[in-house]
Structures are given as C-alpha cells and as structure tokens.
C-alpha cells in the first residue's frame, strides 16, 4: 500500500488542525521509509515475483521495518521524542497514531509477510489477493481523506488548489495502474522510487498546507 497510507494523515489533520499535515505525511510512511533504507543497505530482503497479485514484491524478510513490535516501538518513540521537544501532548499522540496506522493498513492489505516479533509469526489479511478490491479500498481511503481534509480547511488559495487536486489525481491514476501491470526489475528500484515519491509528496503537501484558506 502506498497512497492509502496518506488517508489517515488527511483525516487526522481534518479532525485536529493543529497537527501539521506535512509531519503526518512523514509519520504515516515511517515503516516504509525504514524499509526502503534497509533494502538499499541489504539488511531486509525482498524479491520480485511477477506472479504475485497487486504487488510483485515478495517481502521475505522485514522484521525491523514492518514487525508489529517494531512498529509499536516506532510509534511510541515518535511520541516520546515529540514530548521531549515540548510538542503538545495531543499532537504527539496523533503523530504516534499516524505511524501505527501504517502497520494497520499494511495488515489489511499484505499477504502474511508481517512478522509479529523478530521474523516470526507472519500475518496479513491479504487484500492484495483481490487486486481490483485492493485498488478500490486504497484509492477510496486516500480520496475520502483528501476531500475531508480539503473541506475541513475550507479549500486552498487558487494555485495551491490546482497543485493539491493535481497531486490527488496523479496519485490515484498512478495507484490504479501499478501492481500487476508493473514489473520492476529489482526491489532496490522499488525502494528508491518509493523514497523519492515520499519526499516529493511531502514537499507538495507542505506547500499546499501553507496555502489553506482556514489555517490553524
Ligand atoms: Zn509498509
């Protein structure tokens, strides 16, 4: 799951406008950012298997980035760090929840490749086994979140509105054609593309957020 993770980020910002959306955009992708780095470092392992539905990645070893226990630790660590830097308590907990939402959505979509502890007890509800439904759910969460956020902040100044909706549309189109239709040559390439996408998406959202009509 890629853009679906931004759904909870949008929704949290819509509910509590004090939480910075650009920060939430990073928080919801923490496990995947760690995954990308660890794949490039050769610590975690994944192979391309074109016969897999929805996502051609065979995620054989990712105890650090996607273990249930690891993700709980990352969530609490973010809360602790933010509280240490005197962030408001509620905002810190929203950020922690954003980090953990990544694991929850991955649990829904992944095949059983998410270890509970270490590299053991791999779980996943396997929505990816139903490619059409997987796309509908992912795009649905993203679009509902985006609309909810846009309404909550009263829209954006003109050019920022164009930037925001262009981002939404491009992300939806890219998500709808990815997966089975795409056959990347290596897991490292997937990791690099994903990391680049997270940086670009966060920059876009930072600009959009500065141009909300009703900023908090
Ligand atoms: Zn993930």
87 CA to centre of ligand 1 in angstroms: 26
* Residue 213 CA, ligand 1 centroid: distance in Å: 32
Token representation of residue 104? 């929850």
From the CB of residue 86, how many other CB atoms can be counted at a distance below 10 Å? 7
Residue pLDDT, tens place only, 34-55: 999 999 999 999 998 888 888 8
Cα(31)–Cα(39) distance, rounded to whole angstroms? 12
What residues does the ion ligand 1 have nearby, CB within 5 Å? 31-32, 106
| Ligand 1 centroid, distance to 65 Cα (angstroms) | 8
Distance 158 CA to ligand 1 centre (A): 34
The runs of H, that is alpha helices, within the chain are 6-15, 21-27, 30-40, 63-66, 68-84, 89-109, 131-152, 158-177, 187-209
CA atoms within 13 A on the CB side of 180: 12
Measure the CA–CA gap between 176 and 153, rounded to whole angstroms.
27
Dist. CA 19 → ligand 1 center (Å): 22
pTM of the model: 0.94
Cα(29) to ligand 1 centroid in Å equals 7
What is the 157 CA–ligand 1 centroid distance (Å)? 33
Q: Quote the ligand 1 centre to 98 CA distance (angstroms).
A: 13
Q: Which pLDDT does position 181 carry in this prediction?
A: 58
In this structure, the chain runs to a length of 216
Q: What whole-number distance in Å separates Cα of residue 184 and Cα of residue 200?
A: 20
State in Å: Cα 216 to ligand 1 middle.
Answer: 30
Token pair 């070893």 in the structure block, residue: 61
Averaged pLDDT for residues 188-201: 95
Spacing, Cα 177 to ligand 1 middle (Å): 19
Does residue 215 carry a pLDDT above 80? no
Ligand 1 centroid to Cα of residue 214, in Å, is 32
What's the CA-to-centroid distance between 115 and ligand 1, angstroms?
A: 12
Per the CB < 8 A criterion, the answer to whether 31 and 66 are in contact is yes
Mean pLDDT of the chain: 94
Question: Alpha-carbon Rg of the chain, whole angstroms?
Answer: 17
Give the whole-angstrom CA distance, residue 62 versus residue 83.
Answer: 29
Mean pLDDT of 184-198: 91
Give the rounded percent of residues in the chain with a pLDDT score beyond 90: 85
Report helix angle 158-177 to 131-152, nearest 10: 170
Structure tokens at 212: 């909300």
Assess whether pLDDT exceeds 90 at residue 124: yes
User: What pLDDT was estimated at residue 116?
Assistant: 96
């Amino acid at each position: 799951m890629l853009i679906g993770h931004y759904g909870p980020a949008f929704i949290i910002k819509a509910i509590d406008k004090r939480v910075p959306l650009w920060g939430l955009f990073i928080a919801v992708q923490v496990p995947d950012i760690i995954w990308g780095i660890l794949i490039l470092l050769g610590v975690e392992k994944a192979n391309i298997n074109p016969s897999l539905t929805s996502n051609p990645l065979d995620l054989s070893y990712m105890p650090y980035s996607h273990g249930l226990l690891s993700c709980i630790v990352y969530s609490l660590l973010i809360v602790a760090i933010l509280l240490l830097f005197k962030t408001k308590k509620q905002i810190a907990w929203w950020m922690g929840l954003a980090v953990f939402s990544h694991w929850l959505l991955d649990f829904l979509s992944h095949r059983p490749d998410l270890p509970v502890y270490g590299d053991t007890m791999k779980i996943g509800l396997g929505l990816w086994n139903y490619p059409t439904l997987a796309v509908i759910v992912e795009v649905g969460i993203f679009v509902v979140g985006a609309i909810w956020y846009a309404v909550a902040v009263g829209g954006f100044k003109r050019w920022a509105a164009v930037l925001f909706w262009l981002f939404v549309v491009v992300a939806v189109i890219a998500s709808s054609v990815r997966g089975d239709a795409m056959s990347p040559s290596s897991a490292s390439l997937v990791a690099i593309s994903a990391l680049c996408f997270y940086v670009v998406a966060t920059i876009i959202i930072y600009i959009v957020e500065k141009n909300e009509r009703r900023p908090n």
